[in-house]
Amino acid sequence: MIEVKYSETREKWMLFKDGVFLTYTTEDMMSKANFINKVLNTATTLAQEFDQAPDTEAVYFDRGYNSGGANEIVQDDLTEPYGVALADFTAMITCIQQLIKFAQNQAVYQGDYSATVNKLRNDI
């Protein structure tokens, strides 16, 4: 990853890669470098999710956690300690399935997947 720092003593922007100084740069390039890092981080995050989604879907069905499955996840499994509604959990499984289709260039059903993700995310 490219890191951008401002040197007060030299009054210049500097680019570093893996902690090693590369070059001095302009403020405009600093903005570009920060944006490029953001895009590359997003690509990495998406790639990780693309890699994990098929396994998540397979476990859901292979363990019978699905509706009507041998070991179905029900509301009581989600209420404590998660505080998650079964409908929201099921919607997240659908979101994962649609992510798999998206990654495989298949038709994706339209839905409010952002709302589903926002209800269940635990990072904020």
What are the start-end ranges of the H helices in 1-124? 27-62, 75-79, 86-103, 113-120
* Bridge partners, 25 (sequence order): 13
User: CA–CA separation, 14 vs 3, rounded Å?
Assistant: 8
Count of Cβ atoms closer than 10 Å to residue 53 Cβ: 19
pTM of the model: 0.77
* R_g over Cα of the chain: 21
pLDDT tens digit sequence for 1-36: 788 888 887 788 888 888 898 888 877 787 888 898
> Band of the pLDDT at 91, cuts 50, 70, 90?
very high
Instruction: Give the whole-number percent of the chain exceeding pLDDT 90.
Output: 66
**How high is the mean pLDDT of the chain?**
92
